Amino acid sequence: MFRSLLKADVIISVIVFCVALYLYVEIKAMDSGDVYGQLGPAYWPKFVLASIMVLSVMVAFFSIKGVLQGTLPASKKITFTAENVRFIAAVSLITGYLVLLPFVGFLVLTPFMMITFMYLLGERSKVWIFTIPFVLTIGIVLIFTKAMYVPLPRGVGIFLSISHLLY
């Protein structure tokens, strides 16, 4: 019974409610009487957060009610399967890329990230894997740095020297 009620909607609602409650307490500290007029900086966020809390309770309530009445499928609950491995790998790859980008630079890091990402998504053609990332990276660097003056991250140390060869 509990497992069938453990729908994603209920879990999401509980998380949203808790976060909204925390933020409500945080923003309430900004209530400053009449300093900023009757509608101060906390007025609108408090209204929005209170609405979020009410709505999250409603979503959870209707979700549980739906499961009990059989109008919602009980099977749609949070599960972890082998499919999630690829998602976790993709998120890890993107996180690593964003962490390393300021240190390694766009020019050096992006082709390696793309090659890994393409392989992760199931691409097996060596021609595509080893041409697209390099062509696209160089193309983007040239367009964005030379024509649009966007200072893409250059990296530090030796990577900075490599980036300086192109931009």
Residues within window 95-134 making contact with other proteins, judged by CB under 8 A? 95, 98, 101-102, 106, 110, 113-114, 117-118, 120-123, 128, 132-133
From 18, 25, 68, 94, residue interacting with other proteins (rule: CB under 8 A): 94
Answer yes or no whether residue 158 interacts with other proteins by CB under 8 A.
Answer: no
* Own/partner long-range contacts of 2-7 (Cβ < 8 Å, ≥24 apart): 3/77, 4/67, 4/74, 4/77, 5/64, 5/67, 5/74, 6/77, 6/78, 7/63, 7/64, 7/67, 7/72, 7/74, 7/76, 7/77
Answer yes or no whether residue 22 interacts with other proteins by CB under 8 A.
Answer: no
Least spacing, CB of residue 44 vs other proteins, in Å: 4
Residue placing its CB nearer to other proteins in the complex, 31 or 161: 31
Answer yes or no whether residue 10 interacts with other proteins by CB under 8 A.
Answer: no
Region of residue 148 (phi > 0: left; psi between -120 and 50: alpha; otherwise: beta)? alpha
Q: Distance from CA of residue 120 to its chain's centroid?
A: 19
Whole-angstrom Cα distance, residue 145 to residue 154? Answer: 11
Site string for other proteins, 50-89 (x = CB under 8 A): -xx--xx-xx-xxx-xx--xxxxx---------xx-xx--
Least spacing, CB of residue 162 vs other proteins, in Å: 18
Number of residues located near other proteins, criterion CB under 8 A: 72
